[in-house]
Structure 1
Amino acid sequence: MDSPVPPHPSEPRPRRRDRHGRGMRGPVAPPQVPMSASRSETFRDLVQDSVERLERRWPQLADVDFQVLDVPGTLGDTVPLGRAVSAEKGQPAQIVVYRRPVEIRTKSRDERALLVHEIVVEQVAELLGLAPESVDPRYGQD
């Protein structure tokens, strides 16, 4: 005699990851936690913090375009950490900070923040035709 064959469901049951009643799995860290920020995003934040610090004293910096690039385009004998480009017809003034050369020269986030601020101050001073000490009185004291 043939034994009855149980009917197969037409769709497989969905697998659930709610083992042991602990809830569904989610991301390791929510997006607002610093752990989920990439190195380039963290570096941009350092540059932005420095710019905001200087804009309080120098409102004309609102017209300057601040950029972060990974590395300078052409490498000579020395690798620049930043560059200032004066405004031209239809183009705003630009200040560029190069991320990788700065990261190579620093070991911690605090060192990186200090170096980024020095670079931004030096480039702003060059753009405005002033001494770095007049752009930020605390320049070189940290």
Structure 2
Amino acid sequence: MSDGVDDVRPRTRDRRGRGMRGPGVLPAVPGTPALRTARQRFDQLVLDVVTPLDERWHRHLGLVEYAVEDTPMLPDDWGDETVPLSSLVRGKGQAPTRLVIFRRPIEHRASTRDELEAMVHTVVVEQLAELLNLAPGQVDERYGDDD
């Protein structure tokens, strides 16, 4: 028989079996999220692809705005056509050219992180090639190596 001292267990926060309470990962800098969302990771991926290409071709491209949107706005009568992965609107006058990458259609087609990176690279290179009136292989020699 015990004297009761050994039977006292420290109380845990998992009283009802719901798991740990609070964040699983503490941020390195207080007030900032420790983990990025899927949208933030995709935005960073697009930025990593666009930056070297834009630096290389900036003199020929002029002012280009790059954007990421979740999905394209399609008309009701779109039908069974495939959903676009990007949109390129050429600038007129003072309006800059705008290249929009659609996140969800690209993520839907890629099953791994490597496929996602390759698909974003391919889409951006093809759109810039169209804008420059060049073959995609001329815009980036790595084009075609992503497949």
Q: In the alignment, which residue of structure 1 is the partner of 2:94?
A: 90
- Alignment CA distance shift 1:103-1:130 (3 Å): same
- Alignment CA distance shift 1:55-1:74 (3 Å): same
Query: Any gaps of 5 or more consecutive residues in structure 1?
Result: 1-18, 20-24
**Structure 2 contact 27–33 (Cα < 8 Å) conserved:** no
How far is the alpha carbon of 1:68 from its aligned partner?
A: 0.3
- Alignment CA distance shift 1:34-1:45 (3 Å): farther
Q: TM-score scaled by structure 1?
A: 0.73
Output one character per residue of 1:39-88: Cα deviation in whole Å (capped at 9) or x when no partner: 11111111100111212321235621000011111153121111111111
Whether 1:39 and 2:27 are equivalent positions in the alignment is no
Deviating above 3 A after TM superposition, structure 1's stretches of 4 or more consecutive aligned residues are 31-35
Whether 1:78 and 2:77 are equivalent positions in the alignment is no
Whether 1:115 and 2:119 are equivalent positions in the alignment is yes
Query: Any gaps of 5 or more consecutive residues in structure 2?
Result: 1-12, 14-21
Aligned length: 119
- Comparing 113-122 with 28-37, which one deviates more in the overlay? 28-37
Whichever structure has more helix as a proportion of its residues is 1
- Alignment CA distance shift 1:52-1:38 (3 Å): same
| Max Rg structure | 1
**Alignment root-mean-square deviation, CA:** 2.5
Q: Which one of 90, 103, 127 corresponds to residue 131 of structure 2?
A: 127
State percent identity of aligned pairs: 43
How far is the alpha carbon of 1:31 from its aligned partner?
A: 6.0
